[in-house]
Structure 1
Amino acid sequence: MTAPRMMRGLMAAVIALPLALLGACGGDDSSSDGKTELTFFWWGGEARAKLTEQALALYTQKHPDITFKTTWQANQGYFDKLATLTAGSDAPDIFQIDDNYLAEYGTRNVTEDLTSYQTSGKLDLTKFPEGLWKYGLVDGKLAGMAMGENTQGLVFNKTKLEAAKQELPKTGMSWEDLIAWAQKAGTATKVAGTMDPSADYKALWVWLRQNGKQFYNGNQLGFAKEDVQKWFELWKGARDAKATPTADVIHEGNATDITKQTVVTGKALTSWVWANQMPDIQKNTKDTLGVVAYPGDPSAQWARASMYFSVYRGSKDKDAAVDVINFLANDPEAGKILGTDRGLPSNLDIRKQVEATTTDPAMKASIALESELLPKFGTPPSVPPKGHSTVKTELVKAAEAAQFGTATPAQAAEQFFTAAQAAVAG
């Protein structure tokens, strides 16, 4: 038995993963009978798996010398498995990643620096918005190729608002105007006007940028605890004015599950989400939904990579792996297959193609918002540093302490700031 196979056996025993998974994510010689087999690992549901397999089959049809061994799973536990595989030098040739972990993997040199491929044209990013592909840079190295674009979106219940003859929210309204609107609309519809987003890091991030701050400055926080206190006080005022649901309902809405969003459960007229989630949210309610930017100056928003494809630095077939991700992002036929499953296509030509052919009103609304905001987007921030996932969790804890009244905004801000500092420092 070869050393790599022994390693796989040991890893399987330790983490109880299916042998198929570890066999799929091996670092062994992938060439056999003149063909190259690439391993590919991603998270998602069955629908994503089907689309991805179809796109990869199209690549093999056009490049018969390249085949794939694929593995996918649900989001939960995905990064635990990826961490185990990379620790054992047995990572897949290509893997899906997001901005919660890109900096961590990039700084550990797990991901191949794609800069030379971009420079040579082997990875064509010329049709990508500049801010989008640059959101894959970690310490000046291109750690991942953005496979989809996203930005913050405020989804609202158009059916209930129109039935009550209420004004619809608009891009550009101030935060104070949004809260006043929510109070009035809630009274008219008998449904809480807006979900309380004080636990939502992306809402806080936009608000900070509008106030001249950043969430992060490199590997440090870009704000003071006083900023967080003002943020918590803003939403305490909204709760006191009955513009939001009660704390127990807000707690439900703080879950990331689409089905728990307040605009889906009917417990509030808005939810604070990523714009590309609009089609999935719409599928979970019979009411017609709309989507606008977050309140305030929309230039505080940016073209965020919904997820990336990265190439394992230890891959023996890096050139082939890069050609595959280039194909998935830029080939019109592949774009037609993949659609907006991983966000709006990064390639703007492919995006126009998808927009022209989709019959889904929610998807059209999501694309229209991105198109409207694209020329208004501000400079993207750096990819979040290691510890970002912990920071997000700590924000929910502190915000909920304020929401349930077990801490004042000042106390909750102190709690969050201290925990967030420790998370990024570690």
Structure 2
Amino acid sequence: MHPATPPMADERAAHDHRTLFSRRGLISRLVATAITIPLVLGAAACGGEDEPSDSAPNAPVELSVFWWGGEARAKLTEDALALYTSKHPNVTFKKTWQANQGYFDKLATLTASGDAPDIFQIDDNFLTEYASRNVTLDLTSYKDDKKLDVTKLPESLWQYGVVDGKLAGIAGGENTQGLVYNKTLLQKHNLPEPTTGMSWADFITWAENVSKVTKVPGTMDPSADYKAFWVWLRQQNKDLYKGKELGFTADDVTKWFELWKGARDRGATPTADVIHEGNATDITKQLVVTGKAATSFVWANQLPELKKATKDELGVVAYPGDPSAQWARAALYYSVFRGSEHKDVAVDVLNFLVNDPEAGKILGTDRGLPSNLDVRKSVSEAVTDPAMKLSIAVETELAAKFGPSPQVPLKGHSKIRAELIKAAEEVQYGRQTPSASAAAFLEICKSAIA
């Protein structure tokens, strides 16, 4: 499984010899910024959603599919698509995949040049952008007709694919935020483990005590982590986004930075240089597995990957505070290109990947916990990895406490995530006060979503 944000570890470059999209897309990269996607879509062969997409029920159909991931994900995806073809012999696939790095550059080039794949993988960093440019097909009518069945998905999970009232993508998997801790370290020193529902103040006090007893900082400093900031905001009856605007103020950011300045001053966290290491997205550099902190703020489904990097036993609970601030998050989505000549078939493939029990067994937990709860149950029963079992158990437990999903992030979300790291580090290194850094960060955020 993989965090949205960031896809599964060990991703590799795609098989270029299998890439079947037109190479003219590479040339268009040079002028892509001058081309607006809506204009290209207007010139696309198939036009809008009102036009019929499939000429005959059993006519030969070839669908192009594009996704990111490593070789393991590629094999699983290919096997699932082969299963679909075995059930629908008239449908075949052109399959292309690559590592996460550069994936969205390539997707932008393909959509701008008119070579967009019929089906593509996307995450919440970009879903709003592609939906607002009319790249993604609105799946609402298919959902209403149950051609895309969401009845076995948590409601908040499928709703996390809605942008401006349109269902722009269907969750290919689910994850949520998770606080991973070093269980071996705590047991060695007879210290209590963190628990779901403990307040932020209690958590920082707990971490301070861990630091004193074990001589290992009790927690990473998550002030640069947008996931932690987002959950904390929702616990304050705020949000990261509200409509087309930011859902927080400079005062909110100041309070967040001050919370963690206080934790650093009390010795609950490492020093700024070590905190900086923990801000890296590389799973192998998380402080809970490098031995530089007793906890790390990650995605719950990253526990198995973290376990590979340490011999210590790990545990996972919800982020501090009210767990109802967390939600069933789409680890990633499957979307259909609005200009596809075979929309109906493409949507049927999405329905198959999400809801078919056999496909679910093939795909397993590579893209997160299966979205369909029945499929999830059968897949979970077959899991043998202890870390994965724990991750599934915790997320299943949290599912009963999840609150409603927030809106999908606005365009500019990636910029905001990156700038939060910079702003938090200005405070961590003592170069700016919490209030000064918060004010500067807010102005950058406003510009990012404009």
Alignment TM-score > 0.5, same fold: yes
Q: Alpha-carbon deviation of 1:57?
A: 1.1
- Whole-Å separation in 2 of the counterparts to 1:28 and 1:58: 29
Q: Partners of 1:107 and 1:15 in 2: how far apart?
A: 21
AA aligned to 1:76 is Q
Alignment of 1:1-400 (within 5 A): 8-13=22-27, 15=29, 34-400=59-425
- Would you say 1:408 and 2:433 are equivalent positions? yes
Q: What is aligned with 2:18?
A: none
Shift of 1:12: 2.9
1-structure distance, mates of 2:24, 2:346: 27
Measured after TM superposition, the shift of residue 28 of structure 1 is: 8.3
Q: 1:167 offset after TM fit, Å?
A: 0.4
Query: Which SS does the other structure have where 1:95 is aligned?
Result: strand
Amino acid at match of 2:77: T
Q: Distance in 2 between matches of 1:264 and 1:63?
A: 46
Given that 2:197 and 2:318 are in contact with CA atoms closer than 8 Å, whether structure 1 keeps it comes out as yes
- What percentage of aligned pairs have identical amino acids? 68
SS at match of 1:198: helix
Runs of 4+ residues over 4 Å off in structure 1: 27-31
Deviations 1:324-364 (A, max 9, x none): 11111111111111111111111000111111110111111
Report SS of the residue matched to 1:334: helix
Query: Equivalents in 2 of 1:10, 1:319: separation in Å?
Result: 27
> Are the equivalent residues in 1 in contact too, given 2:25–2:115 (CA < 8 A)?
no
Contact in 1 for aligned 2:254/2:434 (Cα 8 Å) = yes
Map of 1:4 onto structure 2: none
CA displacement 1:301-331 (0-9 Å, x = unmatched): 1111110000000000111111111111111
Deviation sequence 1:180-239 (CA, Å, 0-9, x none): 111111222221110100001110011111111111111111111011001000000111
For residues 217 and 205 of structure 1, the distance between their equivalents in structure 2, rounded to whole angstroms, comes to 12
Alignment check: 8 A CA contact 2:26 2:109 kept: no
Q: Which amino acid aligns with 2:70?
A: G
In the alignment, structure 2 segments of 5+ residues that lack a partner are: 1-20, 31-43, 47-53
TM, length-normalised to structure 2: 0.88
The one-letter amino acid paired with 1:158 is K
In 1, Cα distance between the equivalents of 2:142 and 2:442?
40
Task: Find the aligned partners of 1:412 and 1:126 in 2 and give their Cα distance.
Answer: 45
Partner of 1:376: helix, strand, or coil?
coil
In the alignment, the residues of structure 2 paired with residue 403 and residue 51 of structure 1 have an alpha-carbon distance, to the nearest angstrom, of: 42
Q: How far off its partner does 1:371 sit?
A: 1.1
CA distance in 2, matches of 1:272, 1:28: 46
Alpha-carbon distance in 1 for matches of 2:151, 2:158: 9
Q: Deviations over 1:377-406 (max 9, x none)?
A: 111111011111111111011001111111
Q: Secondary structure at the match of 1:161?
A: helix
CA distance in 2, matches of 1:418, 1:229: 13
What do the CA deviations read for 1:252-284 (whole angstroms, capped 9, x no partner)? 111111111111211111111111111111112
Q: For residue 9 of structure 1, report the CA deviation from its aligned partner.
A: 4.5
| C-alpha distance in 2 between matches for 1:265 and 1:338 | 30
Letter in 2 for 1:11: G
Partner SS state of residue 218, structure 2:
coil
| Structure 2 counterpart SS, 1:309 | strand
In structure 1, what is the Cα distance between the partners aligned to 2:191 and 2:271? 22
Number of residue pairs aligned between Structure 1 and Structure 2: 408
Aligned to 2:7: none
Unmatched 5+ stretches in structure 1: 1-6, 17-26
Counterpart CA distance in 2 for 1:184 and 1:334 is 47
- Counterpart CA distance in 1 for 2:195 and 2:236 is 20
Q: Tell me if the contact between 2:66 and 2:95 (Cα under 8 Å) persists in the aligned partners.
A: yes
- Paired with 2:240 and 2:23, the residues of 1 have a C-alpha distance of 42
The one-letter code matched in structure 1 to 2:113 is G
SS at match of 1:385: coil
TM-score, reference length from structure 1: 0.93
How far apart, CA to CA, are the structure 1 residues paired with 2:311 and 2:97?
31
Calculate the aligned-residue CA RMSD, in Å: 1.7
| Inter-partner Cα distance in structure 2 for 1:77 and 1:403 | 31
